[in-house]
Amino acid sequence: MQRYSYIIGLFFLITYGVNAQLSPDCRNAIPICADAPLPITISTADGNGDVDDFDPDVIRETGCLQKGSVASANIENNTVWYVFRAGTDGQVGFNIEAITLTAEWDFAVYGPDVTCTEISAGADPILCNYEVNDTSFTGSGVNPENGQVGMPNLTQSLNTYDEWLNVTAGEIYYILINNFSNSADPEPFTFTFTGSSVDADQNTAIDCTLRDEFLGLDIDACVGAEDIVLSALRSPAGNDIASVVWSVDYDDDGVIDATNLTGSGPNAAELVIPTITANTGRYFVTITTASGTPPTVVDDGGILVTFFEAPVFDEVSTLETISSNISEGINANTVEIIVDDASGRGSYEYALNPIDIDNPEYQDNPIFTDVPPGINTVVINDKNGCGTTIEEFLIVGYPKFFTPNNDTFHDLWNVLGIETLDNASVFIFDRYGKLLKQIGEIGGWDGTFNGTPLPSSDYWFRLEYTEVEGGVAVNKVRKGHFTLKR
């Protein structure tokens, strides 16, 4: 079976007008509302989008939704995206009703407050249903046709209803709706909000002011990803357009920095924001209507487009070196992971030496304690889904003791990571300051002096090396002590 895109008629279409352009793309998801008593069915629309929200070569499933069997298919293909903002706290559900016998509707709900960038990067939906519909309805809550109660999705459970959504006022949710059907023609369906919040007051249950923000919700985008397209065709004016003027406030400080930006398409009704130039800013549009009723339409709040990018590893700064209690008796370090300032347009999280490199446990703080000498691995992830960087770095340190008894364990002593230093040498002394050995990056000290084993005791060392600071080579010295055990 193939997937086909079709259209929903929703409450808000009464206000928007039938000429409003519907969207197959998450970034331009259509706001929906619950301020009218009956759903409206629209049977003409094209759900095929120019933007693939899910890369078919990377994201082959999202929750219970799966990539189609056709090679060119995509999870996003033949879908329609909607968005709503909860107006009150409480319980919300919805019914999707098939109007034709051949339609097979599926859905996924994302939120709360997840961005489209995070969704396309693989964020899991909180509700999802891909089951074969044996009734005319699917949705969240209770099936009005047979009283079937929603439950967490379970593949092949044949339950076409998911649980209620427990929402908090102000939370934003995205809904992806898809038709899995053999039909070659567009098929209509209706969408109705349900639940205790809607029963209490359908005019406030869903925040209907979201419809006035027709440019859409603020967008977090990745540098170098798909270009962003803003559309004026979703305004209450629909296609009633004589002219369109685009403007931008790059600093989002209330001052317009540029106007008459070059739009595209009929009446310049679309604005393409290339992600290669990545111009963060709040964008506005003013529409002059052809009919003059009303004369102009403006999205007063505009839409803030913020660009983020994958982290670029710069360096690791050692903040502190202390004695560790771990069994090997080596130094533990406090380090800070530093991201390149030339990039850095991101909200980053960090993981050090994760057990599962594919599923690390992140922390927001770039500072780590108890970092052992030697090679360590850091994973830096952009929370906006713009990329992950994995780097290895080496901490210079030294064992606090060694046991040269030829058992192949801790038989030699040397500075760990010395091979990464320039012009490095280590000088080893006894407690009286007598030089016992000079070693370099190869090998180590075996606890002897002129071939004679030395007794168990504490010994001192001086590490000398060269480090470039501001283009100038500077001689560095580090001192410490360790224990020889026999």
pLDDT tens digits for range 278-336: 889 999 999 999 998 889 988 888 999 999 888 988 888 777 665 444 344 556 778 89
Residue 266 pLDDT = 85
d(CA 209, CA 444): 72
pLDDT digits (tens, 9 = 90+) for 92-146: 999 999 888 888 888 999 999 888 878 887 889 999 998 888 899 999 999 999 9
Q: For residue 467, what is the enclosing H or E element?
A: strand 457-469
Q: Which of the two residues, 416 and 253, has the higher pLDDT score?
A: 253
pLDDT digits (tens, 9 = 90+) for 390-423: 988 877 778 888 999 888 888 999 888 788 788 8
d(CA 177, CA 333): 51
The answer to whether the bond into 274 is cis (omega within 30° of 0) is: no
d(CA 321, CA 416): 14
Terminal-to-terminal C-alpha distance of the chain: 74
Task: State the average pLDDT over residues 360-368.
Answer: 94
Residue 325 pLDDT = 40
Q: Hey, which of 181-190, 205-214, 234-243, 279-288 has the most confident mean pLDDT?
A: 279-288
Backbone angles phi, psi at 16, to 5 degrees: -70, -40
Among 88, 108, 40, 82, which residue's Cα sits nearest to residue 199?
88
d(CA 39, CA 439): 82
Residue 44 pLDDT = 40
pLDDT digits (tens, 9 = 90+) for 4-56: 222 233 333 323 333 344 566 787 787 887 765 555 555 443 455 445 677 77
Least confident window among 100-114, 226-240, 258-272, 346-360: 226-240
Residue 11 pLDDT = 32
d(CA 188, CA 97): 9
Residue 233 pLDDT = 82
Q: Which residues pair with 416 in a beta bridge?
A: 397
Residue 461 pLDDT = 94
Asked if 315 and 280 count as a contact pair (C-beta separation under 8 A), the reply is no
Q: Is 27 helix (H, G, I), strand (E, B) or coil?
A: helix
Look at the block and give the residue holding tokens 């009218």: 36
Among residues of the chain, what percentage have pLDDT more than 90? 38
Residue 343 pLDDT = 58
d(CA 186, CA 308): 37
Among 209, 221, 45, 199, which residue's Cα sits nearest to residue 120?
221
The answer to whether the bond into 294 is cis (omega within 30° of 0) is: yes
Quick check: 372 pLDDT over 50?
yes
E strands, 254-330, are 258-261, 270-273, 281-288, 296-298, 303-308, 313-323
Residue 16 pLDDT = 31
Q: Is 203 helix (H, G, I), strand (E, B) or coil?
A: helix
Average pLDDT, the chain: 82
